[in-house]
Amino acid sequence: MNAAELSKAICASLAKMTEHADELRDLDQALGDGDLGITITAGARAVIDVLAGLDASAIPSDVVKVCAKAFASANPSTMAALVAGGLLAGSRVWGDKTNIDAADAADFVKAAADSIAARGKAQLGDKTILDAIVPAADALAQHADDGGAALAAAIAAADKAVTETAALQSQRGRAAWLQERSIGAKDPGATAFLRFLQCWQSASTGTNV
């Protein structure tokens, strides 16, 4: 996948992602401040707008850097900052590559997860977006020789994580203030990541999430 193809896939995926704004808002109202739906929608629209003017000489890492800046600028939120930081960390592992594959995607997601863990001071089991990203990255790496299978495996891993971590008590952010009342609710950040993977798959296959 070259830069133009990556840009097209991102735009198609984010256009579908905005359809989940209400779901993410509701989940975030239960555990946070309720602005995740707005964060995702504003960020998605900003990214789509900026990619419309992407320079023809861009490489995949350039695409991601542009996305990170646009997403962060559209949202003065912690989630936006974490996502932008993760995107920038991922772009660095691609370096000057002009084409990326499933193995590169796995490296990207792993680097993004490491960045989010460090910046958010979170770890697996804290019931955050990290709980979906890490198993997805592992699944991508395990199936890196087959792009379609890799994405399906990543979605399955993230979906399992979202479901299983609902039973945990949130340990980070506003959700942690709820203590035991957070038990039983799906983490909005982890769910957002899952929905993005599903939207990516939907955009590439022409199906609905």
* Domain ranges for the chain: 3-205
Give the model's pLDDT for residue 32.
67
Q: Does CATH number 1.25.40.340 belong to domain 3-205?
A: yes
Selection from 99, 116, 139 nearest residue 190 by Cα: 116
Total residues found in the chain within this entry: 209
Neighbours of 172 (CB within 10 A): 18
User: Residue 207 has what pLDDT?
Assistant: 57
* Residues 122, 141: Cα–Cα separation, whole Å: 22
Show pLDDT as tens, one digit a residue, over the chain (209 residues): 999 999 999 999 999 999 999 998 888 877 666 678 889 999 999 999 999 999 889 999 999 999 999 999 998 888 889 999 999 999 999 999 999 999 999 999 999 999 999 988 887 777 789 999 999 999 999 998 876 799 999 999 999 999 988 776 665 555 554 455 556 668 888 999 999 999 999 987 755 55
Angle (deg, nearest 10), helices 78-94 and 60-74 = 170
* Cβ–Cβ under 8 Å, residues 88 and 115: yes
Angle among Cα 75, 207, 127 to the nearest 5 degrees reads 45
Rounded CA-CA distance 150/106 in Å is 9
Contacts of 46 (CB under 8 A, 6+ apart): 70, 71, 73, 74
- For residue 169, the model assigns a pLDDT of 64
**Which amino acid, 158?**
A
Q: How many helices (H) and strands (E) does the chain have?
A: 10, 0
Contacts of 118 (CB under 8 A, 6+ apart): none
Specify the pLDDT at position 191: 93
Confidence (pLDDT) at 166: 77
In 3D, which of 19, 32, 6 has the Cα closest to residue 176? 32
Look at residue 190 in the predicted model and tell me its pLDDT.
92
Give the residue from 180, 185, 166, 183 showing the smallest Cα distance to 29: 185
Cα separation values, 59 from 46, 54, 98, 100, Å: 20, 10, 5, 10
Closest CA to 43 of 13, 23, 1, 3: 13
